[in-house]
Structure formats: C-alpha cells, structure tokens
Homo-oligomer: A and B are copies of this chain.
Amino acid sequence: MSEKNIPIYQVIENDIKKVILDGTLKQGDLIPSETELSAKYNVSRMTVRQAINNLLVDGFIYRHKGRGTFVAFNKMEMEKTSGRFSGFSSVMKDLNIEVNNNTVLEFKTILCDELLAKRLQLEVNDEIVFIERLKEDGDIPLVYERLYLPKKMFPDITKDVFEKSFYDYVENELNWKIKRCTSAIEARALTKSVANLFKQKEGEPALYVSNVTYLDNGRAFEYSRTYYNAQYFRFRSTNTRKEVD
C-alpha cells in the first residue's frame, strides 16, 4: 500500500485537471459527460459530480444545461497560483528575481490600539509582537513589511523565525492550518524611510497592502502592512462570477 487512500472523486478531478493543464484539452473543448465519466470510472453519477463541482469552483471548467461541460482556460497560461491562496497571487514582474534574504529590522512587544484590536480580535492594550522586516534578492529591495501578532498566541516566538519563513513556522512547526486572508491594496507614495530602504526617491509609487490572515478555526493570527517595490511586483487575480439567476 504505497498509495494513500485517495477518494475516487479526487482521482477523477486530478485526471481532468491534468489534461487541461498540459494542453491536451483547450479552451472551449468539451469534457466527457457525467454519464460517460461514471461509466469510465465505474462510480455513481453523484461521485462524478463532486469531482466536476470542484473543478467548477476552481474555474477550470464551465457548464451548460443540455449542452455539456467545457474547458474554461486556454492552457491556463496565467497562473500556477504560486501563492498560498486561490484566486489571488503576487507575481514578480521579472521572473529572474526571488526573495532570498529576510532582514529583521525590528522585533519588540507593543500594546494594542483600537485598530489592531479590531483586526486581530483582541482587546485594547493586549500585547502584540511587532516585527519589521525587509525582503531582498541580493541587494535588490523587494518588500518592506510590518507584522503584528497576538503575543498570547506566540508567547515564545523568536526573531530568527522571521529571518526564514513565518508561514512555514506556523504551518509546519505549530501545525496550524492557515485558512483565509483579507487584503486591501492601494497605491501609495513612498515615505522617506521606506524610500531609503528601497533605494528610491520619496514620493515614488509603491503597492501598499494591508492584510489579516486567519486560521481554520476563524482566529486572526497576523495583521500586516506591506510595501511592495512597484518596480518588481504586480498582483494578479482571476475572478469567476457567482451564479445570479
């Protein structure tokens, strides 16, 4: 038994995903009907529907009553969704760069103000771990980030976590499940201090993102305010319309 117990619907799902992603089926191509698939895999129609439905919400396919199921993407040129979340991902403009260097500029405990309390589901004056870090590729400054974490959730966290990947720490050391995030994106002029870090001039444009990240139990564990170097970053998003009628 080297095979784990993968549900049948996931097998079907992956099989279809594969022929879409490798370009065997192209945009607009017809996918086998539910009846055909249930015959092929020897499963009930409801099981096929579970696979199909997942592909539908992920935007791989679209369906028409009476007509069939069609491939939505042309070879999915756009995104492997390299990020952690579906539907939204930051993309480096220049594919030859990548973050390989985290410098922690500040690491201290502060007290919660009203806005932080609201975002992090805390009370005013609760303790917060505050981290300020700069991400670079070699000597190219890419991201300036301020993180706010509830101290009681991370009583023993140390500075060196933030020199590596904080999310990896949360997921692999603490074994928490990251579930959701809400972000707001703006264009902002660089302040003098961030401009210095970015080796740019004060007033130059940057992408500014404020973000709250949640675990699968609904708890907010991280609030961040981030500047992305506009020379190297864009954000990409694919949105599928909800059904209306």
- Docked Cα-Cα span, A176 to B189, in Å, equals 40
Residues of A50-99 whose CB lies within 8 A of B: 53, 57-59, 62, 64, 70-72, 74, 78, 84-88, 91
Number of A positions contacting B (CB below 8 A): 55
A167 to nearest B CB, angstroms? 11
Could you say how many copies of this chain the assembly holds?
2
Pairs across A and B, CB under 8 Å, 29 listed:
A27-B218, A28-B217, A46-B46, A59-B180, A62-B217, A62-B218, A70-B218, A71-B218, A72-B180, A72-B218, A78-B182, A84-B241, A85-B242, A86-B241, A87-B237, A91-B184, A179-B240, A179-B241, A181-B238, A182-B237, A182-B238, A183-B237, A185-B236, A186-B207, A186-B234, A187-B205, A187-B230, A189-B204, A189-B205
Residues of A within 8 A of B (CB): 27-28, 46, 53, 57-59, 62, 64, 70-72, 74, 78, 84-88, 91, 121, 177-189, 203-208, 216-218, 228, 230, 233-242
